[in-house]
Amino acid sequence: MSTIDPKIDALVPAWLYLPDISERWGVVITEVRDMVRSRKLLAVRRGENNSLQVPADFIEDDGPVKHLVGTLTVLRDCGFSDQEILEWMFTEDPSLPGSPIQALRENRGTEVKRRAQAMAL
């Protein structure tokens, strides 16, 4: 959990506060905090209050976007920092096409994970 770089902040179109995620999912806030702590969700400190926030594109109505947790694990295993993960996830990739997070939201997780794993080699 780190403060976000303005360049990367500009890549992410919308953010959600942890209490908003907990309300959307119908779970207690501690469950969302536990997901951040266990690195199943990526949250960074941003805004005037330096509060923890998660990219809105990472969140579905019933949990994280399908394949997000696995993709985050692969990227972290490759040595990516949270900032680098955000930059990679939200940067257009002509070979996908679109950004990796767009591909995940369109249920193209296998393609995204394959690219993430290739970066480790």
Rounded Cα gap, residues 46 and 56, in angstroms: 14
Q: Name the residue among 114, 104, 103 with its Cα closest to residue 78.
A: 114
Q: What is the largest CA-CA distance in the chain?
A: 40
- pLDDT of 1: 47
Query: What is the chain's pLDDT, residue by residue, as a tens digit (121 residues)?
Result: 456 788 888 999 999 999 999 999 999 999 999 999 999 999 999 888 889 999 999 999 999 999 999 999 999 999 999 999 999 999 999 989 999 999 999 999 999 999 988 876 6
Quickly count helices (H) and strands (E) in the chain: 7, 5
Q: Are 84 and 3 in contact (CB under 8 A)?
A: no
- pLDDT of 87: 95
The secondary structure element, H or E, covering residue 16 is strand 15-17
Q: Name the residue among 77, 71, 59, 70 with its Cα closest to residue 22.
A: 59
Q: How many CB atoms lie within 10 A of CB 114?
A: 10
